Amino acid sequence: MPSSSKKRAFADDTQLMLHFQPSLVEDACNDVNKDLVNIVKAASSINLKLNADKSKLMCFAPKKLRMAIANNIDIRIGNKKLPVLQTVKN
């Protein structure tokens, strides 16, 4: 399913991970969004649906860098933009 990002799954939770250079944040977002479209299509084909309201996004980088690129991160499931959070509960 994902072609650009790495996938990690456990039970009904799935995590996508993508390493990228800060200057390529837009390309990284495009790659992850393409992977999410493919995942949504695959899930839909077996009558499953991703819950965009429960989906979260984290960016691992030094704080200064994270803050500099945070406004440029645009990852979506359908029309819902995923929030960029500092911490999440798995």
Answer for the pair 78, 53: CB distance below 8 angstroms, yes or no.
Answer: no
DSSP state of 72: G
**Residue 5 falls in which region: left (phi positive, over 0), alpha (psi -120 to 50) or beta:** beta
pLDDT digits (tens, 9 = 90+) for 48-85: 999 999 999 999 999 999 889 988 999 999 999 999 98
Sign of the dihedral defined by the CA atoms of residues 82, 62, 90, 49, in that order: positive
Which residues 6+ apart lie within 8 Å of 37 measured at CB? Answer: none
Answer for the pair 3, 38: CB distance below 8 angstroms, yes or no.
Answer: yes
Does the pTM exceed 0.75? yes
